[in-house]
Amino acid sequence: MPLPTELLELLADTQEVLIETRSGEDVTRTVIWVGVSGDMVYVRSVRGESGRWYQRAVANDDVTLIVGEFRLELRAIPANDPASIEAASEGFRRKYPKGGSLDAMLHSEVMGTTLRLESRS
């Protein structure tokens, strides 16, 4: 289920967010980038499958994004089909400046770690 427009706009305007992932009782927060394309929200692990937050999100799809004062309880859904990968990449290209950091997010080795974030309800 897509997020409300005001939250999509907030995510589109916020450079970095925190994602909380869980493994049993252990909760970890990691700074990540978020791409918005249409009414979809995407994240991707710059470290590929070795990214700890990514591994946890795949194992337990209940994640929380912390954006300023907001805590967004979301579900992380694998989105490694070509259309989703391209939508996520376009969201990153539109939001972040050209350079090495963006290039790392668009590298073919990390494309398969694209996740779509949706409301849990």
pLDDT tens for each residue of the chain, 121 residues long? 778 899 999 999 999 999 999 999 999 999 999 999 999 999 999 999 999 999 999 999 999 999 988 999 999 999 999 999 999 999 999 999 999 999 999 999 999 999 999 998 7
CB crowding 54-78: b at 16 or more within 10 Å, else e: bbbbbeebebbbebeeeebebbbee
Contact (Cβ atoms closer than 8 angstroms) between residue 105 and residue 33: yes
> Fold for domain 5-119?
Pnp Oxidase; Chain A (2.30.110)
Residues facing 117 on adjacent strands: 41, 76
pLDDT of 120 reads 86
Say if CB 89 and CB 81 are below 8 A apart.
Answer: no
Domain ranges of the chain: 5-119
For residue 34, the SS3 value is coil
